[in-house]
Amino acid sequence: MSVLEQPIAAFDVQKIRSDFPILRRDVHPGVPLIYLDSTATSQKPRQVIDAMDEFYRHSNANIHRGIHALAEESTAAYELARERIAAFIGAPSPRELIFTRNTTESINLVTQSWGRANLNPGDIVILTEMEHHSNLVPWQMLAQERNLRLEFIPVTAEGLLDLDEYTSLLKLEPKMVAFAQMSNVLGTINPAAEIIRMAHAAGALTLVDGAQSVPHLPVNVRALDADFVAFSAHKMLGPSGIGILYGRKSLLEAMPPFLGGGDMIRRVELRSFQSNTLPYKFEAGTPAIAEAIGFGAAVDYLANLGMEAVERHEQKIIHYALERLEEIPGVKVFGPAAEHKGGVASFTLPEAHAHDISQVLDTDGIAVRAGHHCAMPLHDKFGITATARASFYVYNTLEEVDRLVDGIYKVKKLFA
């Protein structure tokens, strides 16, 4: 049975939409919002908003060190959120989850802590040509500092990774393979488990950029056998300003602290300190407490929907979207066929620049992204400077795809 033929049990899109207050607004007079930019950031259900509001109204206090009632309530709520997120991704222990500001900071934590402690001049790190800048620049910075060698798995014309070339690169005996499980431009879902297995067989560690995969696919870090996984709350119905780095306990314990200050210490003297145990060793200063609680509410919401059902819904949407976009003369959609991608459709029109496409669509309330999407090298690979990107999530409908197509025809007419 194909993905499209599988029943979407209890996945009531209209009921889901009713949980998102922003979807009820008009973005222009009489023009309702059609939000197709979830790859950049997702909208937030009332359950997440209410959880954060409840914390600020009733339990707001700093965590871990206070012993009064509010401090204990705040600490319990913060750590419960960590436990729920750990369960959501199948982590063996909540202590293996580090709260960070976002995916970008999580990757920087790995490069600046693990990388500085373990990589030496001439060591090789393998990346891919489809990486977001967040999984390029931190490695480039470290490579400049340590004289490392960066190698890249090529992207084929179809938008897939060239695994034959990857096999050849592994013969160079890399120390790290860092890659996106799902491309934010092409929507390509990479075979993460296979990439990790091959890396481990070659003696390399792995870092998975899960910013796009964890919100949209069932991701189990234990099943993947990943060493590090980074992702952000704001792309998965949660608040901005908070993310996660999952890391194997043995690796995290061996890594030096990333930032210094309160809560990451066990003892401080004038000329020395002892770092705290996991996960607090990497969580210096007062954290984003309300945001962590909102993050916990977001994974509860997704878990209640069921990530298999989320994936099926998005597959239904992207199959339909690609079919409709192919009907439009001149539209070029980048990336593989629907069965190899998530709910992302990046495209160009010969008549108009991506920014013009986005601006015209906005007059009809349709929010899409325009630009290089923090993936300049990938756009260079395809010989373009920018794409317009429509991205879909749990609250999008087939009717909104039809509205997008109508809007693109409007763009073509205006710029003909």
DSSP E strand boundaries for 335-373: 344-348, 366-367, 369-371
The dihedral sign for the CA sequence 55, 58, 60, 63: negative
* Active site annotation includes 374: yes
Say which amino acid occupies 291: E
CB 247 within 8 A of CB 99: no
Which residue in 31, 374, 376, 384 is the catalytic one? Answer: 374
Please, which residues have CB within 8 angstroms of residue 250's CB and are 6 or more apart in sequence? none
**DSSP H or E stretch at residue 384:** none
User: Hey, what are 347's tokens?
Assistant: 């495209």
293, 52 Cβ separation under 8 angstroms: yes
What angle, rounded to 10 degrees, do the helices at 163-170 and 192-201 form?
Answer: 20
DSSP 205: E
Q: Going by C-beta distance under 8 Å and a sequence separation of 6 or more, which residues neighbour residue 125?
A: 119, 139, 143, 148, 149, 150, 151, 174, 175, 176, 177, 178
**What is the CB neighbour count within 10 angstroms for residue 186?**
29
CA dihedral 256, 260, 261, 263 (to 10 degrees): -20
Q: Where are the beta strands (DSSP E) in 68-185?
A: 97-100, 124-128, 149-153, 176-180
Residues 204, 174: Cα–Cα separation, whole Å: 6
Catalytic residues, by residue number, are 374
